[in-house]
Chains A and B, each alone.
Chain A
Amino acid sequence: MRPEPGLSFATSFAQALLDPARETPEIVTGPNGKAAAKRYAVYRNNVTVSLIESLAAVYPAVQRITGAEFFRAMARFHVRSHPPTSPLLFEYGREFPEFIEAYEHAQTMPWLADVARIERAWLDAYHAGDAAPLSPARLSAIAPARLADAVFIPHPAMRIVRSPYSAVTIFAANRGSTPAARIDASRPEDALITRPEFDVAVRHLPAGGAVFAAGLASGQPLGEAAATALDASPDFDIASNIAGLIEAGAFTSLAAGDA
Chain B
Amino acid sequence: MSTVTKSTGPAAVPLRFATPIGGVAGTSFKPEHLPAILAAGPRRGFFEVHAENYMGDGGPPHRALEAIRRDHSLSLHGVCMSIGGPRPLDKAHLARFRGLVARYQPALVSEHLAWSTHETSFFNDLLPLPYTEATLACVCDHIDQVQEAIRRPLLLENPSTYVAFRESSMRETEFIRAIAERTGCGLLLDVNNVFVSAANHGFSALDYLADFPLSRVQEIHLAGHAEQADDEGDLLLIDSHDGPVADAVWKLYEIVIQRRGAVPTLIEWDSRIPDWPVLQAEAAAAQVILDRHRSAAMAGERHAA
* Chain A interface residues (CB < 8 Å from chain B): 3-11, 13-14, 17-18, 26-32, 34-40, 42-43, 46-47, 50-51, 54, 83-90, 125-131, 156-157, 195, 198
Q: B115: nearest residue on chain A (CB-CB)?
A: A10
B218 touches A (CB below 8 Å): no
Given contacts A6-B134, A87-B116, A89-B124, contact A27 B165 (CB under 8 A): yes
A46 touches B202 (CB 8 A): no
Stretch at the interface among B80-88, B100-108, B174-182, B286-294: B80-88
A28 contacts B59, CB within 8 Å? no
Known: A5-B134, A84-B121. A39 touches B167 (CB 8 A): no
Q: Does B127 contact A (CB under 8 A)?
A: yes
Q: Which residues of B contact A29 (CB under 8 A)?
A: 163-166
List of B residues within 8 angstroms of A89 by Cβ: 52, 124
Q: Known contacts A30-B163, A83-B123, A87-B90: does B231 contact A35 (CB below 8 Å)?
A: yes
- Which single member of B82, B90, B124, B138 contacts A54 (CB below 8 Å)? B124
Asked whether, in the complex, the Cβ of B58 is within 8 Å of the Cβ of A156, the reply is yes
Of the candidates B58, B87, B135, B231, which one forms a contact with A6 in the assembled complex, judged by CB atoms under 8 Å apart? Answer: B135
Using A17-B123, A42-B238 as known contacts, say yes or no to A30 and B164 having CB atoms under 8 A apart.
Answer: yes
A43 near B85: Cβ-Cβ < 8 Å: no
Given the complex of chains A and B, what is the CA–CA distance between A157 and B132 in angstroms? 47
Give bound CA distance, A27 to B85, whole Å.
Answer: 15
Q: Is the CB of B167 within 8 A of A9?
A: yes
Contact, CB under 8 Å: B132 / A6: yes
- B89, chain A: closest CB distance, angstroms: 11
Any A CB within 8 A of the CB of B125: yes
Known contacts: A27-B167, A83-B123. The answer to whether A9 contacts B236 by CB under 8 A is no
CB nearest to A195 among chain B residues: B59
Chain B residue nearest in CB terms to A50: B124
- The answer for the CA separation of A27 and B135 in the assembled complex, in Å, is 15
Question: B-side interface residues toward A, CB under 8 Å?
Answer: 52-53, 55-63, 79-80, 82, 85-87, 90, 93, 115-125, 127-130, 132-135, 138, 162-167, 200-203, 228-232, 234, 236, 238
Residue of B nearest to A199 (CB): B60
A4 touches B134 (CB 8 A): yes
In the complex, the answer to whether B62 meets A130 with C-beta atoms within 8 Å is yes
Give CA–CA (A115, B238) in the complex, Å.
Answer: 36
A46 near B163: Cβ-Cβ < 8 Å:
no
Q: Compute how far the CA of A43 lies from the CA of B129 in the bound complex, rounded to whole angstroms.
A: 13
| Contact indicator B162/A14 (Cβ below 8 Å) | no
Complex interface: chain A residues within 8 A of B57 (CB): 127-130, 156
Tell whether A83 pairs with B127 under 8 Å between CB atoms, given A4-B134, A35-B232, A36-B163. no
Please name all residues of chain A whose beta carbon is closer than 8 Å to the beta carbon of B125 when the two chains form the complex. 43, 46-47, 50
A-chain residues with CB within 8 Å of residue B236 when the two chains form the complex = 38-39, 42
Complex Cα spacing A117 to B155, Å: 40
Are A34 and B122 neighbours in the complex by a CB distance under 8 Å? no
A46–B57 CA distance with the chains assembled, in angstroms? 28
Contact B116 A43 (CB under 8 A): no
Q: A128 vs B129: C-alpha distance in the bound complex, in angstroms? A: 36
**Which residues on the B side are within 8 Å of A125 (C-beta)?**
59
